[in-house]
Amino acid sequence: MILRLPRSVLLSACAAAALLLGIIAIGVGPVPLDVRAVLGALFGDVDDATTAIVLSIRLPRVALALLVGGGLAIAGATMQGLFRNPLADPGLIGVSSGAALAAVTVIVLGDGLFGGMAGRFALPIAAFAGSLGTTWFVYRLARFCGRTHIATMLLAGIAINALCGAVIGVLVYVANDDQLRSLTFWQMGSLGRAGWPEVWMCLAIMLPAMIWLLTLGRSLNALVLGDSEAQYLGIDVQRCTRTAIILCALLVGAGVAVSGVIGFIGLVIPHLIRLLIGPDHRGVLPGAACAGGALLVAADMGARTAAAPAELPVGLLTAAIGAPFFLVLLLQQRRGAV
Amino acid sequence: MKRLIALLLVGIAMLGAGEPRRIVSIDPAVTETVFQFGHGGAVVATDMTSTWPAAAAALPKLGYIRQLNAEGIIAQRPDLVLTSDKLQPRMVIEQLQQAGITVRELPGAADLPALRQRLLGVGEALGESAQAQRLYDGITARIDAVARRHPAGGTGPRVLFILHLMGGDVVCGGSGTAADWLIRACGGRNGIDAPGYKPVGAEALLAMRPDVVVAMSTGPSGPMTRERIVAHHALTGLAAVQSGRVHLVDGTLMLGFGPRLGEAVEAFADLLHGDGAAQR
């Protein structure tokens, strides 16, 4: 553990990185803009094109990347603590598959169900409802005799994921070519589909949920020891579990709803932070939130510029940027242990 | 002297006001139409699938029509964006308009009413309305002539239209597809009833007993060849394949639903009925 840094130093560094990357990302894109043009768009008078680029294209994307990245990472960290399983990610409790099922339903059957009334918000709202619905179902399945059985929940989640996968398969089969392509791109994840209304909706849901999760750090630390041990330490295990699951479902549901499925962040960012500052959730949760936001901002910057003027799916880049970094940390840790 | 230059500049600006000077075209059929009207020189960038004519293929590519980003388009500094309703994400249109760019969105469907609106819409945007109407009338005249020779709904040849052979699957054009429209327009009968482009099993193919097999010459698994079709386990037993009634067609021409549709229908009718120039 040669690399372990004082928690406050690392947390400040993560927050600073997220902030700095956010500022850089506003200045970077296929249209070259200098600092003066960006500041002009933010505070003063410049031409319509520059204003539109900064205010209605780049700024909402950066804000959304920070929010969604942070939300996915903090939800992942919580899940890993809750399930006492390093491979847990928010997808395990059905959040992502429920959202995907709802999204596929809207894309494939939307015109038939709503007669062409399905507007811009039909898909995100359906995806959000789908993710909450499946999570609630998985949670109900795992709750009996007044207790939530974590192991049952894991298995129920796997079963529900398989079921959603099967229904998605059927819908994909009946989909036409256009719907299939929309679907593929939705599943690859992108921050390019969201404007300010989506950002505000996400902010309203995700910011309170993230702040609430941050207060659960101590309880999660106790839960890692085991349910009964946590109980002896004075933690209301049932309430804590329920709260954590609801908050994670809200965070991931809102994120998936506006940006599709973005992998890697929820699974690996918490490990990365744990490698750097140790397993204390009071550090891991805020650290993961900042690092997740920073990584998604960086990945989205790459998605917008790497193939400019075309755009790459951001999901491809989160792993491409994050995985090597994670491997380096693993190698360093191994060297430190020898 | 200064006044003269200013006058000259104003004059140029006024001349240019009627005609867009930097066009971004996002949709293969729309791009073909712009080039058809002789405005290809003003096109500065297109989407990935706009590959005809060759001059359009050589232009900078802005990505796939369903995965676009507004800033990439703005970076080309267009004064007109021509596209179809296939464009995704929809927000891009709003963002372009906020940046002060004129966007003309046309119907993208594979049928005649949509083609008409597409041609007339592009014509109007480019100040070529008369030419657009002439082009559309010419196309429908050619389609009608083919339909008179080979009326639909009769006992025309049963056609199997293969989109591609991927992973051993034979993916065919069913009802509601551009391929289906083309087969009917040429008096043929589509062997596949199911909607959309779907993989069809070997047994169903045998039961269908197509008279003609048509395949796209390019596909996601590389260029299609006659040999690949003849050697395919699900196709090799078909009478049409054994008697050599296998044809490779250019997908952008046949399924593009652009200004070359008249040409496409005539060429396809030739393939189905083998009547060539003799009856024309």
Q: Do A182 and B100 touch (CB under 8 A)?
A: no
Give the start-end residues of each E strand in chain A. 143-144, 147-148
One-character DSSP codes across A65-123? HHHHHHHHHHHHHHHHHHTT-TT--GGGGTHHHHHHHHHHHHHHHHHHHHTT---TTHH
Summarize pLDDT for B242-274 with one digit per residue, the tens.
998 999 999 889 999 999 999 999 999 999 987
Phi and psi dihedrals of B23, rounded to 5? Answer: -105, 135
**Does residue B113 register a pLDDT over 80?**
yes
Three-state DSSP at B278 gives coil
Cross-chain residue pair B67–A194, CB shorter than 8 Å = no
pLDDT computed for residue A149 by the predictor: 81
Helix axes B129-149, B112-126, angle to 10 degrees: 160
Q: How far apart are CA A289 and CA A76, in angstroms?
A: 10
> Is pLDDT above 60 for B238?
yes
pLDDT at A290 over 80: yes
In eight-state DSSP terms, residue A56 is I
- The domain limits of chain A are 7-337
Which pLDDT score is estimated for B280? 37
Inform me whether the C-beta atom of residue B197 falls under 8 Å from chain A C-beta atoms.
Answer: yes
Token digits for A162? 């398989």
Residue B61's pLDDT band, with cuts at 50, 70 and 90, is very high
Domains and CATH numbers, chain B: 20-127 (3.40.50.1980), 158-273 (3.40.50.1980)
| Start-to-end CA span in chain A (Å) | 10
Average pLDDT estimate for A30-46: 84
Cβ neighbours of B1 (radius 10 Å): 5
ipTM for this model: 0.75
Which of A59, A62, A177 is most worth mutating to test chain B (most B CB atoms within 10 A of its CB)?
A177
**The pLDDT of residue B97:** 92
CA triple A213-A83-A290, angle to 5 deg: 35
**% of chain A beyond a pLDDT of 90:** 30
pLDDT band of residue A338 (cuts 50, 70, 90) is low
Does residue B19 register a pLDDT over 80? no
Burial environment of residue B94 by CB neighbours within 10 A (0 to 12, 13 to 18, 19 or more): middle
Closest among A128, A72, A68, A17 to A267, alpha carbons compared:
A72
Dihedral over alpha carbons B218, B223, B224, B226 (to 10 degrees): 130
Q: What is the DSSP letter of B107?
A: -
Distance of alpha carbon A254 from alpha carbon A99, whole angstroms: 9
**What does the alpha-carbon distance between residue B275 and residue B280 come to, in Å, rounded to a whole number?**
9
Spatial separation of the C-alpha atoms in residues A158 and A147, rounded to whole Å: 20
Give the model's confidence band at A119: pLDDT under 50 very low, under 70 low, under 90 confident, else very high: low
Residue from A38, A181, A317 whose CB has the most chain B CBs within 10 Å, to mutate: A181
- pLDDT at position A251 is 92
pLDDT of residue B278: 38
What pLDDT does residue A5 have?
67
Nearest residue of A to residue B196 by CA position? A176
Distance from C-alpha of B19 to C-alpha of A216, rounded to nearest angstrom: 63
- Chain B, residues 99-128, CB within 8 A of chain A, namely 99-101
Peptide bond into B53 cis (omega under 30): yes
Of A66-80, A218-232, A279-293, A305-319, the one with minimum mean pLDDT is A305-319
Contact B98 A176 (CB under 8 A): no
Q: Are A48 and B62 an interchain contact pair (Cβ–Cβ within 8 Å)? A: no
What is the pLDDT of chain B when averaged over all its residues?
87
Name the A residues in 73-132 with CB < 8 Å from any B CB: 120
CA B45 to chain A, closest CA, distance in angstroms equals: 10
* Range B79-93 average pLDDT: 91
> Would an 8 Å CB–CB cutoff place B67 in contact with chain A?
yes
* Tens of pLDDT, residues B126-167: 999 999 999 999 999 999 999 999 988 778 899 999 998 877
CB A22 within 8 A of CB A295: no
Provide the pLDDT confidence category of residue A179 given band limits of 50, 70 and 90: confident
**pLDDT higher than 70, residue B99:** yes
Longest CA–CA span in chain A (Å) reads 65
Report chain B's C-alpha Rg in angstroms: 22
Query: Nearest CA to A295 among A278, A328, A276, A272?
Result: A272
pLDDT band at A1; cut points 50, 70, 90: very low
**What is the fold, at CATH topology level, of the domain defined by A7-337?**
ABC transporter involved in vitamin B12 uptake, BtuC (1.10.3470)
pLDDT of amino acid B277: 40
Q: How many percent of chain B have pLDDT more than 70?
A: 90
| CA quadruple B266, B269, B271, B273: dihedral sign | negative
The DSSP call for residue B61 is: B
Top mean pLDDT of A166-170, A184-188, B129-133, B193-197 is at B129-133
pLDDT attached to residue B60:
93
Tell me which of A260 and A74 has the higher pLDDT.
Answer: A74
Q: What is the mean pLDDT of residues A26-38?
A: 86
What pLDDT shows up at residue B276?
47
From chain A, the residues in CB contact with B95 under 8 A are 52, 56-57, 195
* pLDDT greater than 80 at residue B18: no
Going by pLDDT thresholds of 50, 70 and 90, the confidence category of residue B279 is: very low
Lowest mean pLDDT among A52-66, A182-196, B159-173: A182-196
B138 contact partners, CB below 8 Å, separation of at least 6:
B262
Three-state secondary-structure class, residue B215? strand
